[in-house]
Amino acid sequence: MRKLIILFFIGLAITVSSCRQDFVFEPSTGGLTFSKDTVYLDTVFNTIGSSTYTLKVYNHSDKDIKIPIIQLGKGQDSKYRMTVDGMTGDNNRIFHNVELLAKDSLFIFIEITNNVPNVNPTQFLYTDQIQFDTGANFQKVELVTLIQDAYFLYPKKFDDGTTETLPIGNEEIYGFFLDENDPINGNEYVWGNDKPYVIYGYAAVPGGKTLNVMPGARIHFHADSGLIVGNGATLKVNGDYSTTAALENEVIFEGDRLEPEYSDVPGQWGTIWLTDGSTNNEINHLTIKNATVGLLIDHNDGNYMTIKNTQIYDSSLRGIYAKTAKIKGENIVINNAGQYALSCSLGGAYEFKHCTFNNNWSSSNQLAVLIDNYYKDENNQQVAFDLEQADFYNCIIFGSNQIEMLMLKSTVNPDTNWTAPLFSRCQIKFNNSNNAYTNDPNYAFLNDTGNIIKNGKTDFQSVYKNKLMIGELSAGNGFGTNVGVPKDLINTTRVSPNIDLGAYQHITFPTN
């Protein structure tokens, strides 16, 4: 009997030992989860040596898995280094066939070298990814490091693992409220010019608060990021005229990719959203580059907002998208948008003086200006709004299509007010082929040859380089009248009777 007992335990030990050596690891199916979706590392300038950050990777499945590859996206060229459960892999950057038991986790420790600023002195962010299984089951975690001294604003991560979000209607979006007593950035309701701002997610200004953006401020938005000005909140962009090519007083909103190849790529970030009820908004000397929608103005509180000396370039959808808004604009330039440079939609009240709205987007459907007063509901029925005013003085409305402006008036609800838009001393690209618009009263300006230049030469300096200054050969040279805007966008004085159309007085182009 004793021999049988001994044999039993020996057999059991052998069996257990054999099982321990014969785990079957199946290929990963991409169901990994992570403690963070983005790892933010310290500003390299502010850190002595390299900081170490931790990412935890979870296998919640009931199967032992083998991850074919874990690597840094930039491979051996990456300035990041990592270890995976104590393993160093291939030069701390590439790891093959990493095993992970069922219901288990592994740790990745990430560092960054302290010579990142030497990579590209024009960048203030250095980014990469930790990539898991680069085949069909690809997953990733973003890595972000500041390599210049900048204010870095992003949603907070809470102790329970959740991330700060903003309530928008019935949804939550990745974003955060600005804080006037932030322990790192100080008063986030004043954006100054001492160093740039980098925004991740949507920064929000709550009701009763004012965001003041000071002359010379540089604001950089990551992909799917932007600024929201809430009900009862205010945005004041206090830019000013600059005297040097450094644009020392201009406020610039743009993406966070500063490499030259991204300088005119549309849609790199979201929008500046002035929501329903935002109040007393004022914008002066602001340049917006490469957004999805430059300015989304959503039914401000009944008072006119002002937009002066402002440039909006290369928006993937619309430059200004105003919905039942009230705007007074002077010296505005909008160039190139996937749909409309300027969209005055769902009625509202608008007055534009000395503005240049141009759209050379490579599409047959784009427009420089759209004016409408309705939308169609889920039953395809028109829902109409009052258009109180749409006045354009000394403006250029142009582009690459035969028609660059349309007006869409609701055909239902006769009680809805539609004040016919006014075009005084304007140049408009409009080829009325087959006289399709001849009898439409909204297009009466087409016959007003003394007050309107239909088509004609614009003589822009360089549309594709966003240089919308007009030259001596422009049809708008000297065609304007005094409408109370004494200086142009670059501070040139307008003197009667030599007042030009658009945001600029004409210039003599350099010959080289």
Grouping H, G, I as helix, E, B as strand and the rest as coil, residue 480 is coil
The upper half-sphere exposure of residue 120, i.e. CA atoms within 13 Å in the direction of its Cβ, equals 12
> Using CA atoms, how far apart are residues 310 and 322, in angstroms rounded to an integer?
15
Give yes or no for a contact between 215 and 240, defined as CB atoms under 8 angstroms apart.
yes
Same domain, 77 and 210: no
Per-residue 3-state assignment (H helix, E strand, C coil) for 385-421? CCEEEEEEECCEEEECCCECEEEECCCCCCCCCECCC
User: What residues does 195 pair with on adjacent strands?
Assistant: none
Q: Are residues 446 and 373 in the same domain?
A: yes
What integer pLDDT is reported at residue 121 of this predicted model?
Answer: 56
Residue type at 249 in one-letter notation: N
> Which residue among 93, 124, 146 closes a domain?
146
Residue 443 pLDDT exceeds 60: yes
- With respect to residue 373, please indicate whether it lies within any of the assigned structural domains: yes
- Assigned domain for 215 exists: yes
Per DSSP, the residues of 236-296 read EEE----SSTT-TT-EEEEES--SGGGTT-S-SEEEEEE-TT--S-EEESEEEESEEEEEE
Q: What is the pTM of this model?
A: 0.79
Instruction: Indicate whether 256 belongs to any domain.
Output: yes
142, 240: one domain: no
308 and 424 housed in the same domain = yes
Instruction: Output the domain CATH number for residue 93.
Output: 2.60.40.10
Average pLDDT score over residue span 468-489: 96
pLDDT one-digit tens code per residue, 3-36: 444 444 445 444 444 444 455 778 777 889 999 8
Does 260 share its domain with 206? yes
193 in the same domain as 82: no
100 and 218 assigned to the same domain: no
- Residues 193-223: tens digit of each pLDDT: 998 998 999 999 999 999 999 999 999 999 9
Question: Which pLDDT band, with edges at 50, 70 and 90, does 256 fall under?
Answer: confident
Asked whether the predicted pLDDT for residue 171 surpasses 70, the reply is yes
Q: What percent of the chain has pLDDT over 70?
A: 90
Instruction: Please tell me the predicted confidence (pLDDT) of residue 53.
Output: 87
Is 401 found in the same domain as 291? yes
Specify the pairing of strand 382-384 against strand 374-376: antiparallel
Domain shared by 311 and 398, yes or no:
yes
Q: Which domain holds residue 125?
A: 26-146
In a domain, 497, yes or no: no
In this prediction, residues 234-248 reach a mean pLDDT of: 96
How many domains are there within the chain?
Answer: 2
Query: Within 10 A of 512 (CB to CB), how many other CB atoms are there?
Result: 3
What pLDDT shows up at residue 25?
77
Query: pLDDT for 345-369, tens place per residue?
Result: 999 999 999 999 999 998 888 999 9
- Please check whether residue 389 is in contact with residue 350, taking contact to mean a CB–CB distance below 8 angstroms: yes
Q: Is there a domain that residue 185 lies in?
A: yes
Name the one residue in this structure whose structure tokens are 């007042």. 499
Q: Looking at the domain assignment, is residue 17 inside a domain?
A: no
On whether both 81 and 198 belong to a single domain, the answer is no
Distance (Å, whole) CA 85 – CA 58: 12
Record the tokens describing residue 54, joined without a space: 């931790």
Q: Does one domain contain both 101 and 200?
A: no
Whether pLDDT at 253 is above 90: yes
**Do strands 340-353 and 426-428 pair parallel, antiparallel, or not at all (unpaired)?**
unpaired
Confidence bin at 93 (pLDDT 50/70/90): very high
Residue 212 lies in a domain: yes
Write the CB contacts of 361 (distance below 8 Å, at least 6 apart in sequence). Answer: 336, 337, 338, 399, 400
In the listed set 146, 176, 204, which residue is the last one of a domain according to the structure?
Answer: 146
Cα-based distances in Å from 410 to 61, 122, 218, 414: 56, 50, 41, 9
Amino acid letter for position 411 = T
Does residue 481 lie in a domain region? no
Dihedrals phi, psi of 44, to nearest 5 degrees: -60, -40
Residues 142, 161 within the same domain: no
Calculate what percentage of the chain has a pLDDT beyond 90: 71
Res 12: pLDDT: 46
pLDDT at 2: 52
Q: Could you tell me the two tokens for 439?
A: 């009898």
Position 94 confidence tier, pLDDT thresholds 50, 70, 90: very high
State the chain's mean pLDDT as an integer. Answer: 89
Q: Which of 432, 453, 474 is the last residue of a domain?
A: 453
